[in-house]
Structure 1
Amino acid sequence: MREEELHRLLSVAAEDVRPSQPASTGWDRARRVRRTRRAAGAAALAVVLIGGGTTLALGPADRPVPTTPASPTASPVPSAPPVQRPPDELTYPGDPLGRLGDPVSAPLSARPVRQALALYQPIDPETGVEGRIRVLGDDGLVRDLDVVTPARTRDVEGNEAVPLKTGSLSPDGRAAAFAQTDEVIVVDLTTAKVRRYPLRGYLENVLWAGDRLLVGDNDTTYEVDRGSGAARKLTASPWDLVGPDPAAPTDSLLELGGTPESLVLRRWSGDGTQRHDSPVDVRALPRGNRVDEFYGRGWQRNDLVARAGWLTTGQGQGVEGVAVLDTRTSLVVRLLDVGTGRWKGCCEVLGWDSDGAVLLRHDPGGLLRWQPLTGEVTGVIRDLYGEVSLAAR
């Protein structure tokens, strides 16, 4: 399914609905409550290039064929309801990311990658103890990240988390960044060289916006110049920043978050000095369905942003799931209802694939691929416990 068709269909529900007056009530309070809802680590998820191309058949060209006007034919486009659920039994059609669970075949220092598809840090689901970070190259081989061993991140209150974050891998798959206390580490995966940038604070977040490297602690976002090592502060929230579409300019940034009483889409100018707020609008959904709170990183593709959250649907409140929002209207146009009784924060979004599908975790121990246009949900890999970061698809 082409991206244009996805975009057109997801906009249909929002066509005649306009968001109410912009408001930012409660946004500042979100930073104080956001940490209470973060999940403690578990599985990862993601996916990779499922190419959907159209085959062009070439006819004989020994003499011109007369052209005659063709009658237009209606080609039905598959669609799905705005609130969707995965099937009871998943299929696993096969995916290059399935190799994330393969044994390590070489150290990165001995065999750098041309491009990494993903980073993976295993976590024992029983003990919570993490293993070494692995690099899956585009050649299908898994490397050990032996050139550096990042420490756990920690906040001012002493809470710790594994160093691999969903935003660690650069969109081009050539570099990896790890937030650390008082520094950020950047590894060139194509040469296995390591560089450290001093930066004060209990740093926990990393996110690439094209070539821009954004690093954050509890309250502050820094943009690090990898040439000079200089850093400047941005006003944007390190928790709610959206991973931008790698194919789009990065001269502005988006936040998606806020408190349960006031969810907001916020646009920042490139220098982080100007903002515009629009309340998240659920009027394109059936009555009674909404997003109560977001968690994890949001990821953008064209005009759409996907982010995990706790939902209210026909199953009740506190449902785990994923929302897709149209950034032009601030309308939530699709929900994936994953249900209840799962690990808290089970379904963090890792990005989009080239076919317009959302890639998400499915704890315990799985990765899923969700196509919002058709409602199709398939498995990517089973029993993969840990954190994952993906390159752009």
Structure 2
Amino acid sequence: MNEQDLRRLLTVSVEGVLPSQPASAGWERARRTRRTRRTVGVVALAVALVGGGTVAALRPSADPPLVPPVGPTVTPTVESTHAGPVQHPPTELTFPPDPLARLGGPATVPLSQRPVQRALALFQPLDEENRANGPIRVLGNDGVVRSLDVVTPAPTRDAGGNEAPALKPGVLSPDGRSAAFPQAKELIMVDLTTATVRRIPLDGYLELVVWAHDRVLVGGDDRTYAVERASGAASMFDMSAWELAAPDPDAGRAAPLIEMYGERASLALRSRTAEAAELRSEQPITGSALPSPYQVNEFYGRGWLNGERLARAAWITSGEIDGAEGTAVLDARTGAVLHLLDLGRDRGKGCCDVLGWDNKGAVLLRLEPAALARWHPETGEITGIIRDLHGVIALAD
């Protein structure tokens, strides 16, 4: 406030309206008083706060003290709970209702009689020796469980004769419309919306598939093919299907292909071009954000990308043991381990494959004794989805 404003304020504050003056003059003076007070009120308050007693002494004692207006109480926003880099599952899981729990029930209709609009999941029951124990179940987005009756894929096998179930994580396309089953010397493509089957001849022992947008990457120990879903045309890629992470379905066909390989200090990420699998970059996987002695020893199972985050099962060094089961979430750009789920030492070896991400950014994984669980790395919350379901599950995006 300058000297002129102070003089005007003092003049107005001592001005009086005499009864003998005309009413029009009184109203004009009152109007001028209100306008002037509005004009200088905010400035007067600022000076009062800065200058303290100077303005208080100038204001006549008859005036009430200037009180700032009372506004609504503002409650500070509480940020979402963020868990630490190392987390642990609860002693007992809760199992909220979930559509995927229907996989625990038997199939009620063959796929050939009632194809799906979109499949949410495939499930292959296994016996105690990990052999197929009934047809593959197809859970549609209508909640109906169907049996896959149009084809019966044989177990996969390698050159040494070792067998594994035909259904594996990754065989179901992200859109839930197709399934791809690797076999010896062929790839079986099933259109789940029409219940039709195509067989695409390919050389070699094929064991694993990864959907990369509108292509299927299928391979084994010594070769990997890229097969177009629409045409069935195949080209060979120089990379391993065992170490390949499933790309984010929302990233499009041009999304790079990411491999994770190595052990302990030699763990690394390798990025390749989508079209020809040519090497783009390579960088170490680091665990500097983890408290000592935690570290990732080796990854297993399929890796899954969600935006710039990558989730995969691992064997880890924990505070109790070297070789505990765990699940890691990494920054796919830098290779830094962001979150580590310590699953402890009292689980079967290779128990806890990662099966993908849900649409809320949670990791879906196998977790004994639950067949399937949901882990939110940002908050540390873990809940069960399906309880005690023995078999192999493949999920759509």
2:78 to 69, 75, 78: 75
Task: Choose 1 or 2 for highest CA Rg.
Answer: 2
Letter in 2 for 1:82: P
Q: Following the alignment from structure 2 to structure 1, what is the Cα–Cα distance between the partners of residues 370 and 291?
A: 31
Supply the distance in 2 between the matched residues of 1:221 and 1:70 (Cα, whole angstroms): 63
Partner residue in 2 for 1:95 = 98
CA distance in 1, matches of 2:391, 2:87: 26
| C-alpha contact (below 8 Å) 2:370/2:384 kept by paired residues | no
Cα displacement (A) at 1:354: 1.2
SS at match of 1:111: coil
Contact 1:291-1:311 within 8 A present in 2 as well:
yes
The aligned residue for residue 122 of structure 1 is: 125
Alignment partner, residue 207 of structure 2: 204
Q: 2:314 aligns with which of 289, 302, 309?
A: 309
What is the aligned partner in structure 1 of residue 108 from structure 2?
Answer: 105
Residue of structure 2 aligned with 1:373, choices 371, 378, 381: 378
Residue of structure 2 aligned with 1:256, choices 255, 260, 264:
260
Q: Which residue of 2 aligns with 1:265?
A: 269
Q: CA deviation at 1:128?
A: 4.0
CA contact (8 A) 1:343 1:364 kept: no
Q: For residue 262 of structure 2, give the secondary structure of its aligned residue in structure 1.
A: strand
Matches within 5 A, 1:277-356: 277-356=282-361
The alpha-carbon deviation at position 127 of structure 1 amounts to 6.4
User: Matches of 2:75 and 2:180 in 1, distance apart?
Assistant: 52
Change in CA separation of 1:326 and 1:246 when aligned onto 2, cut-off 3 Å: same
SS at match of 1:207: strand
C-alpha displacement of 1:381: 1.0
**2:151/2:197 contact within 8 Å kept:** yes
TM-aligned CA deviation for residue 254 of structure 1: 0.6
Q: Identity of paired residues, percent?
A: 56
* Alignment deviations for residues 111-169 of structure 1 (CA, whole Å, 9 cap, x no partner): 00000000000012366443211100001111000000000100001000010010100
Residue equivalent to 2:162: 159
Decide whether the 8 Å contact of 2:331 with 2:338 is kept in 1.
yes
Q: Quote the Cα distance in structure 2 between the aligned partners of 1:357 and 1:365.
A: 16
1:346/1:364 contact within 8 Å kept: no
Q: Which blocks of at least 5 consecutive residues in structure 1 are unaligned?
A: 1-67
Contact 1:184-1:199 within 8 A present in 2 as well: yes
Question: Secondary structure of the residue that 2:250 maps to in structure 1?
Answer: coil
The separation in 2 between residues aligned to 1:235 and 1:376, in whole angstroms, is 39
What's the C-alpha RMSD, in Å, of the aligned pairs? 1.7
Q: State the SS of the aligned residue for 2:322.
A: strand
Q: Would the aligned equivalents of 2:304 and 2:312 in 1 still touch at CA under 8 Å?
A: yes
1:294-353 deviation per Cα after TM superposition (whole angstroms, max 9, x unaligned):
000000111100000101111221110100001122100100011112121111000011
**1:223 CA drift (Å):** 0.2
Cα offsets for 1:199-233 (capped at 9, x unmatched): 01100011101111110011221101234432111
The alignment's TM-score, normalised by the length of structure 2, stands at 0.79
Contact 1:169–1:389, Cα closer than 8 Å, also in 2: yes
Alignment counterpart, residue 84 of structure 1, candidates 65, 87, 90: 87
Counterparts of 2:158 and 2:318 in 1: how far apart (Å)?
34
Runs (5+) with no aligned partner, structure 2? 1-70
Secondary structure in 2 aligned to 1:315? Answer: coil
Aligned-partner Cα distance in 1 for 2:74–2:251: 37
Number of residues of Structure 1 aligned to a counterpart in Structure 2: 325
Higher normalized contact order (CA 8 Å, seq sep 6+, divided by chain length):
1
Distance 1:219 1:363, change over 3 A: farther
* Corresponding residue for residue 146 of structure 2: 143
1:285 and 1:133 map into 2 onto residues whose CA distance is: 40
The residue type paired with residue 371 of structure 1 is H
- Judge which range, 364-373 or 99-108, deviates more: 364-373
Q: 1:279: Cα distance to partner? A: 0.4
Normalized per residue, which structure has more helix?
2
Partner AA of 1:263 in structure 2: L
Q: Choose from 238, 243, 249 the match for 1:240.
A: 243
